[in-house]
């Protein structure tokens, strides 16, 4: 009588409880005390920026507690770097925060240069500043694009990625790669900038300045954008200080702190720019701060371009610099045919020197340094320990995404589930940086 086929057939004589699709909703509800239920958001949720898992405790639609679970993207970059030379370290660290690769390279290289006691040539310094600020623009554009998309402003997504692609084109023309450049090296740059670098940058600044207005037109007075961002995800100055929050999140809470001003590196003290701050500390304030930071970055780039020095881009030290200045070839790979012809054909010593520098690298004096730079997400610090060998003894990275993500509970507790998306988007975490 009771075969599977019979159970599937409609019947009128029920005996006992009836279950729909095997889920006993009443039993689930009865089992939870105080009507709090726990829901997983992620790791594959489309709105959690990569592989971030949020364990939400919900009372109806109100969030009681948010617990971020991270580590899904852990690749052991810090451990790997202990087994590679100092220059190879750039190749690893650039892959951490993949939206701000040049900041990772710069912070690491500044730390190594501090240990070596060298100063990079002026041309390399200014080129670094220009590329860093373009990278800040590219990173904030991705934030605008993905943040907009998550709140339904899909046009912003296409705009943001469209302009970012122009910046990545510039990076590709200089380093050969759109992302993960390994272009900034201890002692300077991997190769000199191309002859049309200044023209390209100038044209790009004009283009970006023009487009900036479009973002404001699209979002600033958009009622949905305002409703979703104003008054949500509030993080005040005290929260920021206790949780170690830096970058646009802290500046949106009224903390006027920017390492470029406070503890200048790369000669940032010689440029005229402002630190935008807001006092509301909500998601909308962060939007305004990031928007203004993009304008300030354009100002810095213009000033740097106005006085772009000539000369070498690598420190004049035969123990560190490769014996010849490499230029980017027509094939997009960093080997100039003229260079290879000269080295291979004429100078055996230079060839040996080059081989030793590439395979063994240079040694760095023993010691410990902490070098922090202002990345698009806040204080990016490299705590580098050298034991006097040709590879790092230990590198610890103070990742702003990692530290800032701790704020997600403070921002979202008491809010609605829908606000969690906006709040996490406004932190702008990059999971490659969080998990390393």
Partner 1 sequence: MSEGHPVFDAEATGEPPSSGSDATSSMDLAAIERHVQGRFGDVAADVKFGELSLYVKPSQVLEVLRFCRDDEALACAWLADLSAVHWPAGDHSIQRQPSTTGWPEYRIDRAQGVIEVDYILRSHTHNHWFRVVVAVDDTTPRLPSVTGLYPTANWLEREAYDMFGIDFQGHPDLVRILMPDDWVGHPHRKDYPLGGVDIPYQNDKFIPPPSQRDLREVVE
Q: Which of 227, 267, 262 is nearest to 246 (CA)?
A: 262
In angstroms, rounded to a whole number, what is the distance separating the alpha carbons of residues 315 and 321? 6
Q: Tell me which residue of 386, 378, 382 sits closest to 398, measured CA to CA.
A: 382
352/418 with CB nearer partner 1: 352
- Smallest gap from Cβ 209 to partner 1, in A, equals 31
Q: Residue 101 CB: number of other CB atoms within 10 A?
A: 28
Q: Which of 419, 382, 425 is nearest to 92 (CA)?
A: 382
Element (H, E) at 421: helix 417-427
Q: Answer whether 400's CB lies under 8 Å from 378's CB.
A: yes
Task: State residue 56 phi and psi, 5-degree precision.
Answer: -100, 135
Question: How many residues in total does the chain contain?
Answer: 436
Q: How far is the CB of 366 from partner 1 (least distance, A)?
A: 4
Contact at 8 Å (CB) between 102 and 181? Answer: yes
Tell me whether residue 70 or residue 201 sits nearer to partner 1 (CB atom).
Answer: 70
DSSP state of 369: E
| Identity of the residue, 76 or 332, whose beta carbon is nearer to partner 1 in the bound complex | 76
CB of 103 to partner 1, least distance (A): 16
Give whichever of 19 and 370 is closer to partner 1, judged by the CB atom. 370
- Indicate the residue among 158 and 389 with the shorter CB distance to partner 1: 389
What is the Cα–Cα distance from 203 to 296, expressed in whole angstroms?
A: 17
* Torsion angle (degrees, nearest 10) of CA 257, 263, 268, 274: 20
Least distance (Å) between residue 8 CB and partner 1: 41
Q: Give least dist CB 356 to partner 1, A.
A: 6
**Closest separation in Å from C-beta 436 to partner 1:** 7
Residue placing its CB nearer to partner 1 in the complex, 222 or 409:
409
Closer by beta carbon to partner 1, 218 or else 413: 413
Query: 230 or 319: whose CB is closer to partner 1?
Result: 319
| Shortest distance (Å) from residue 397 CB to partner 1 | 9
Task: Quickly tell me which residue has 């100038």 as its tokens.
Answer: 202
Nearer to partner 1, 80 or 279 (CB): 80
Helices (H), 151-229: 154-175, 197-219, 223-229
Residues that bind partner 1 (CB under 8 A): 70-71, 74, 76, 78-80, 82-83, 113-117, 119, 241-245, 255, 257, 262-265, 319-320, 353, 356-357, 360-370, 372, 379, 381, 383, 385, 387-390, 393-394, 396, 398, 402-403, 405-406, 435-436
Smallest gap from residue 261 Cβ to partner 1 (A):
10
Closest C-alpha to 430, from 111, 126, 135, 99 = 99
- CA dist., res. 181 & res. 229, Å (int): 34
The SS3 call for residue 60 is: coil
Smallest distance, partner 1 to C-beta of residue 269, A = 9
Q: Which residue has the tokens 């006027």?
A: 256
């Amino acid at each position: 009588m009771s075969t599977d086929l019979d159970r599937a057939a409609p019947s009128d004589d029920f005996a006992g409880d009836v279950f729909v699709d095997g889920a006993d909703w009443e039993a689930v509800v009865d089992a939870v005390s105080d009507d709090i239920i726990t829901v997983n958001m992620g790791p594959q949720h489309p709105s959690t920026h990569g592989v971030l898992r949020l364990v939400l405790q919900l009372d109806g639609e109100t969030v009681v507690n948010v617990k971020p679970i991270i580590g899904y993207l852990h690749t052991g970059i810090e451990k790997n770097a202990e087994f590679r030379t100092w220059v190879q370290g750039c190749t690893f660290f650039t892959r951490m925060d993949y939206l701000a690769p040049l900041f990772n390279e710069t912070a690491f290289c500044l730390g190594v240069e501090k240990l070596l006691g060298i100063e990079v040539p002026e041309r390399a310094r200014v080129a670094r500043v220009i590329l860093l600020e373009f990278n800040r623009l590219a990173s904030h554009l991705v934030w605008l694009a993905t943040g907009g998309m998550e709140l339904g402003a899909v046009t912003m997504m296409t705009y943001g990625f469209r302009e970012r692609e122009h910046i990545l084109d510039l990076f590709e023309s200089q380093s050969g790669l759109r992302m993960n450049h390994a272009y900034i090296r201890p002692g300077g740059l991997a190769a000199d900038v191309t002859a049309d670098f200044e023209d390209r940058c100038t044209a790009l600044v004009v283009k970006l300045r023009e487009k900036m207005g479009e973002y404001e037109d699209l979002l600033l007075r958009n009622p949905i954008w305002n409703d979703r961002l104003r008054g949500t995800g509030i993080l005040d100055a005290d929260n920021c200080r206790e949780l170690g929050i830096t970058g646009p999140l802290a500046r949106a809470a009224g903390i006027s702190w920017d390492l470029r001003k406070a503890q200048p590196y790369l000669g940032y003290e010689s440029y005229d720019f402002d630190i935008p701050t807001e006092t509301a500390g909500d998601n909308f304030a962060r939007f305004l701060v990031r928007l203004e930071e993009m304008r300030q970055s354009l100002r810095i780039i213009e000033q740097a371009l106005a006085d772009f020095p000539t000369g070498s881009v690598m420190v004049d030290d035969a123990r560190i610099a490769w014996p010849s200045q490499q230029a980017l070839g027509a094939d997009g790979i960093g080997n100039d045919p003229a260079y290879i012809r000269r080295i291979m054909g004429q100078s055996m010593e230079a060839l040996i020197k080059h081989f030793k520098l590439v395979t063994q690298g240079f040694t760095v004096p023993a010691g410990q340094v902490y070098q922090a730079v202002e990345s698009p997400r806040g204080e990016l610090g490299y705590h580098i320990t050298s034991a006097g060998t040709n590879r790092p003894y230990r590198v610890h990275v103070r990742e702003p995404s990692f530290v800032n993500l701790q704020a997600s509970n403070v921002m979202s507790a008491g809010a609605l589930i829908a606000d969690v998306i906006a709040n996490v988007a406004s932190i702008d975490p990059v999971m490659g940086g969080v998990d390393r």
